[in-house]
Amino acid sequence: MASDILAPVLINALIMSIIYMLMASGLTLVFGVLHLINFAHGELYMLGGYGLWLLSQVLGVNYFLSLFLAMTGTAIMGVIIDRSFFIHLRGQILESFILALGISLLLQGFALLVFGSEERGIKASITDRVNIFGVSVLAERIIAVIAGIGVMIAMMWFVHRTRLGQAMLATEQNREAAALQGINVNNMCSLAMAVGGALAGLGGGLISTMMFVTPGVGTIPLMKAFIIIIIGGLGNIPGAVLGGIVIGFIDCMGAIFLGGPLAYLIGFVFIMVLLIFRPKGFFGHDVS
Amino acid sequence: MMHGIRLFKWIVLGMGIILGGCLPLFIQNLYYIHILIMVFYYTFIALGWRLIMSIGYVNFGFPGFIAVGSYAAAMLVTRGDLSFWLAMPLAGIIGGAIGLIVGYPLLRIKATYFFIATFSFVGVIEGILYYWEGFTGGWAGIKGIPRPNPIDLFGIVAVKFSGKIQFYYLILGLMVLALLILHKIEKSKTGKVIIAIKDSNNLAMSVGINITAYKLVVFAGSCFIAAIGGAFFASYNTMITPNIFDFNLGVQILIIVMFGGVDILLGPLVGAFMLITISELIRFSPHWHLVIWGSTLIGVMLFMRKGVIHGILEIISRARGGRPVEK
């Protein structure tokens, strides 16, 4: 295959990987700290897309500023959801999971009522093309890749290097011990939701220049993120990063060479095979 | 006292069956008959969902198993020229067998991973149904599924499936049968084992219960019910498409089960009645569906975690100044 066909495919795969990475690492962080499978995570992604659309297309705010504001908005949304709903069902995995599903339906319903079911597209503000290894690629895609990787690194730094992040990790490892050290567990849970919300919102915002935003747009990335965090291990952020790359590339390559539905099958078969032959996952975490 | 309660239960059950059996005599409007059929159909499949949930697992792949039963029955009838009465149990067995195959790897992992892994199962089944066009009919699905053959009991009773009424009795019969069998299981030793496994895997294992085998059998049983329900639906609806059995169907069944209460066998009936009634009431404003289902689920989870039946019993008992209801 000629490189001028392969290069855009690779760039797309890279972007999908980064979107999945952003989704999955937030989801896995929330699971680690809150012990919650946050089904409403896909709706934070959707709200990120709508936030960007509202700011940049309707109000005419600068693209980067609106991306930042949309991210902040979904982070605040995450905290609101945590403080008004999840706080009541702390630690009950099944119950809080069903609650999250309810919140997901509610947010999708509100989006449908407020924004309608039309597809909302966002015009890219940067239409230049750049040459990479002799292949011309849209600059906005490169910016999306850089922004995604940058925020991922910033998140890693925040979680592992700052006091606040370490307090959150401590809560993840042992809630009681963290509480005994004077860490406010509820605040840490809200913080995790804020970080997860920001990452999901960024993902939704970045992709919205390439795909349309609809109320149900968050469902598929959420499903992919679920597959990714099984591969990488629940609560394992590096695992989510690696899993994001694997699934992003399988997805893009699979969709081109085999067709979309079959790509979906591959993800599931991948999980099934993984669970049969290596029930402890790629990173040796305990799932059984 | 014990006998009194048991007798009371049988009287209630008998009255329920007689009421259900006589209802079509009073209701002439076919639209209401259709709604009742849907209530019983949803109750039936929700009983299957509840069965696996009673062991602590939520199977989001459930619509996939309904689809398997539906497509199996439809193909056996349209292409295999089989009688519906043979195709329905066969579809159930196919669903149960696929349940065994899928359940074997999935049930060995933690419940948390199980929820997540089963999500993708719906997508897989939908993908197969869309993709394998020559076999499943693709987007268009299967049309013109014939009604069940007439039942002829030794020339005495002949039932022809000419209208909705016969389907009403068929699904009512299926539902009552499922309720009776599940009730029997719950009261038996197996039922106690299921509760033991739900409460504590390790404890159940330590007293010598083969929990994996139990989980697998319960899972296959739940898939069997799903597939039988699917087969009924295929024949009743006369056409099936892949998008009938999507993730939203799973959400609806979950709402039914949670609304009625997982611990109560009749919970799905109450839940299905609520869900179908509200769906029909808001039929003309589809934009509100998601908001209403979402807030129903949130309300139940926050305020009546054990379901509405339990919640109402608790309110009554509190008003009487009694102690809270145990079960």
pLDDT digits (tens, 9 = 90+) for B307-321: 888 888 888 888 887
Nearest CA in chain B to A276: B105
Nearest CA in chain A to B296: A102
**B325 has a pLDDT exceeding 60:** no
Percentages of chain B per state (helix, strand, coil), in multiples of 5? 75, 0, 20
Contact status of A102 with chain B (Cβ, < 8 Å):
yes
Contact status of A112 with chain B (Cβ, < 8 Å):
yes
pLDDT digits (tens, 9 = 90+) for A239-281: 888 889 888 888 887 777 776 566 667 776 777 777 667 665 5
Please state whether beta strands A135-138 and A129-132 pair in parallel, antiparallel, or not at all (unpaired): antiparallel
- B27-43 as b/e: b if 16+ CB within 10 A: eeeeeebbbbbbbbbbb
Nearest CA in chain A to B56: A94
Q: Confidence band (pLDDT; 50, 70, 90) for B2?
A: low
Contact status of A106 with chain B (Cβ, < 8 Å):
yes
**B58 DSSP assignment:** -
Contact status of A105 with chain B (Cβ, < 8 Å):
yes
Percentages of chain A per state (helix, strand, coil), in multiples of 5? 75, 5, 20
Min Cα–Cα distance to chain A from B117, Å: 7
**% of chain A residues with pLDDT over 70:** 89
State the sign of the Cα–Cα–Cα–Cα dihedral A229, A233, A234, A238: negative
Residues 50-89 of A with CB under 8 A from B: 85, 88-89
Q: Confidence band (pLDDT; 50, 70, 90) for A182?
A: confident
Q: Do B297 and A230 touch (CB under 8 A)?
A: no
Q: Which chain B residues are closer than 8 Å to A271 by Cβ?
A: 117, 120
Q: Which two tokens stand for residue A82?
A: 């945590």
CA B110 to chain centre: 24
**% of chain B residues with pLDDT over 90:** 31
Residues B168, B36: contact at Cβ < 8 Å? yes
pLDDT digits (tens, 9 = 90+) for B150-184: 776 666 666 777 778 888 888 999 999 999 999 88
Please state the pTM of the whole predicted model.
Answer: 0.87
- Tell me the mean pLDDT in the region A43-68: 90
Q: Which chain A residues are closer than 8 Å to B108 by Cβ?
A: 275, 279, 288
Q: 3-class SS at A59?
A: coil
Give the pLDDT confidence score for residue B133 in this predicted structure.
Answer: 74
Residue from the list A99, A101, A103 with its beta carbon closest to the beta carbon of B251: A101
- A154-193 as b/e: b if 16+ CB within 10 A: ebeeebeeeeebebbbbbbeebeebeeeebebbebbbbbb
- Which candidate, A247, A218, A276, A240, places its Cα nearest to that of A152? A240
User: pLDDT: is B298 or B20 the higher one?
Assistant: B298
Q: Do B287 and A113 touch (CB under 8 A)?
A: yes
pLDDT digits (tens, 9 = 90+) for A81-110: 999 999 998 888 888 889 999 999 999 999
**A284 has a pLDDT exceeding 80:** no
Residues A96, A33: contact at Cβ < 8 Å? no
pLDDT digits (tens, 9 = 90+) for B131-151: 777 778 778 888 888 888 777
Min Cα–Cα distance to chain A from B110, Å: 5
Q: Confidence band (pLDDT; 50, 70, 90) for B211?
A: confident
pLDDT digits (tens, 9 = 90+) for B67-117: 999 999 999 998 888 888 999 999 999 999 999 998 888 887 777 778 777
Q: Do B108 and A279 touch (CB under 8 A)?
A: yes
Give the pLDDT confidence score for residue A175 in this predicted structure.
Answer: 85
Q: Which two tokens stand for residue A146?
A: 């850089």
Q: Which chain A residues are closer than 8 Å to B290 by Cβ?
A: 105-106, 108-109, 112, 215
- Tell me the mean pLDDT in the region B229-244: 91
**B110 DSSP assignment:** -
- Tell me the mean pLDDT in the region A166-176: 87
**B322 has a pLDDT exceeding 70:** no
Q: What is the mean pLDDT of chain A?
A: 84
Rounded CA gap, A153 and B121, in Å? 33
pLDDT digits (tens, 9 = 90+) for A187-224: 999 999 999 999 999 999 988 888 888 888 888 888 88
Min Cα–Cα distance to chain B from A210, Å: 24
Residue from the list A94, A106, A227 with its beta carbon closest to the beta carbon of B298: A106
Mutation target vs A (from B55, B108, B256, B298; most A CBs, 10 A cutoff): B298
Rounded CA gap, A235 and A93, in Å? 14
Q: Do B116 and A226 touch (CB under 8 A)?
A: yes
Q: Do B297 and A259 touch (CB under 8 A)?
A: no
Q: Which chain B residues are closer than 8 Å to A115 by Cβ?
A: none
* Interface predicted TM-score (ipTM) of this complex, two decimals: 0.85
